[in-house]
Amino acid sequence: MKKILVTMAFAVLPAFAFAAGGNVPLDHMKPDLEDKVSLQKGAATFMNYCMGCHSMKYARYERVATDLEIPLELFEENLIFSDAKIGELMNIAMQPSQAKNWFGNPPPDLTLEARLRGPDWLYSYMRGFYADPSRPYGVNNSVFKDVGMPHVLAGMQGVCAHKPDTGAEPQVDPLSGRIVKDSGCESYTTKGTMTKEEYDETIYDLVNFMVYMGEPSRMESETLGKWVLLFLVILFIPAYFLNKEYWKDVH
């Protein structure tokens, strides 16, 4: 029995390693599903830059708009770039056969990507592109080697000249207390429209939105959980005195 358990443990280890990004050091990010502004900005980034190729076919536009507190008309006018209706699933017009011809493989659906990869992996991946003339799109990725995806946010970030050092601890000047070197890109072959800090914030918002998309009910569950805990605290008071009253006659 012990041998079987050990064998099963080793069998599932590769799956966990894949989901976590293997042995590549990752930068940490902590999602905040209560930050509606961050989620709204992340949704805008995804709709504008990602949804041309990647679907989220297990979600509906209307549910996203409602959860993120975006008026339906505003969402439909500014974040739906096809003839899809607000109540439809978030599919894309690109056919798998077309995608295979253009990219080699159809781009994956991203509804559950945050649950598969984890927020740290996505955050590091989107900040891990760098110039590599040997690759078809001129870029490689420090987290996903030889990735077949172009750097669609290069206009914002620019193109890193060298492989970013993801997962590195920030180096702080002991005299001034300022960070002199951080993880991510340090020099660029092409400048983007954003500063490093602005781009990091944009990617945080994007990944935050993808975490929400992976489990939309989590927002409701966390809110409901707080009310349940409050109810239990209130219930404890009469229960305590009732229990005391019951045992008074016994003693």
Superfamily of domain 22-215: Cytochrome c-like domain (1.10.760.10)
Q: Which residues are annotated as a binding site for heme c?
A: 50, 53-54
Q: What is the pLDDT of residue 28?
A: 94
Q: Which residues pair with 139 in a beta bridge?
A: 131
Specify the pTM: 0.77
> From the annotation, which residues make up the binding site?
50, 53-54
Residue 169 has a pLDDT of 65
Per-residue pLDDT, 165: 82
In this predicted structure, what is the pLDDT of residue 225?
Answer: 73
Please provide the DSSP assignment of 31-97 as one string: --TT-HHHHHHHHHHIIIIITTT--EEEEEHHHHHHHTT--HHHHHHHH--SS--TTSEE--S--HH
Residue type, 152: V
Averaged pLDDT in 10-residue chunks for the chain of 251 residues: 44 40 83 96 98 94 97 97 95 84 86 96 97 96 94 97 79 54 79 95 98 85 72 83 76 61
Can you give the pLDDT at residue 220? 67
Query: What pLDDT, on the 0 to 100 scale, is given for residue 11?
Result: 41
Looking at residue 95, its pLDDT comes to: 82
